[in-house]
């Protein structure tokens, strides 16, 4: 899903200002923050506060299949409360969007490149969490909006790079 930019800004402001929205900080989800901080210390993501709201608010704004949003104009992350999802992964995913914006701004800000950057850097976490390969590939396919075969190639390519160099950090 790729809604118009202005809509994202408006929606994120709406969520942030909603009376039922709360927030997450480093101390509550150290594992997620540390995973990203270790790879990109220069982004100083430990200071980032992440807004969290009820899934009904996301649904009301038509983000039914979206778990988190990042807005570069506001430098804000919002995620939804949903028992179906692994919140640690959503936090890492959105923090990596932030990193891509802050650290990677030399590279193209094209939506697809940014998503690939996020996913490539998230793969080790999914492996660490003992996700099965087929589930990782499904996750990649869904987020890249690509076919399973392409997601599989992407996985093989990025996984190998990640294994070879611990400090893997580019597309």
Binding site for Zn ion (CB under 5 A): 115, 118
- Which residue, 113 or 162, has its beta carbon nearer to Zn ion? 113
- Which residue, 57 or 121, has its beta carbon nearer to Zn ion? 121
Strand order in the sheet with 50-54: 22-24, 50-54, 76-81, 68-71
- Which residue, 145 or 163, has its beta carbon nearer to Zn ion? 145
Distance of closest approach, residue 166 Cβ to Zn ion, in angstroms: 23
Non-local CB neighbours of 29 within 8 Å, separated by 6+ positions: 87, 88, 91
CB 35 within 8 A of CB 125: yes
Distance of closest approach, residue 118 Cβ to Zn ion, in angstroms: 5
Distance of closest approach, residue 19 Cβ to Zn ion, in angstroms: 27
Distance of closest approach, residue 139 Cβ to Zn ion, in angstroms: 11
- Which residue, 33 or 70, has its beta carbon nearer to Zn ion? 70
Tokens 């989800």 appear where? 29
CB 77 within 8 A of CB 69: yes
């Amino acid at each position: 899903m790729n809604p118009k930019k202005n809509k994202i800004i408006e929606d994120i402001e709406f969520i942030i200002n909603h009376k039922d929205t709360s927030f997450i900080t480093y101390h509550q989800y150290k594992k997620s923050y540390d995973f990203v901080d270790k790879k990109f210390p220069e982004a100083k993501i430990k200071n980032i506060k992440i807004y969290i709201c009820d899934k009904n608010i996301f649904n009301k704004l038509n983000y039914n299949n979206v778990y988190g949003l990042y807005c570069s104009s506001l430098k804000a992350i919002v995620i939804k409360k949903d028992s179906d999802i692994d919140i640690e992964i959503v936090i890492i995913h959105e923090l990596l969007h932030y990193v891509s914006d802050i650290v990677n701004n030399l590279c193209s800000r094209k939506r697809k490149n940014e998503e690939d950057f996020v996913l490539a850097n998230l793969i080790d976490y999914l492996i660490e969490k003992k996700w099965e390969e087929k589930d990782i590939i499904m996750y990649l396919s869904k987020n890249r909006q690509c076919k399973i075969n392409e997601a599989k190639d992407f996985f093989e390519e990025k996984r190998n790079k990640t294994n070879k160099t611990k400090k893997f950090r580019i597309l």
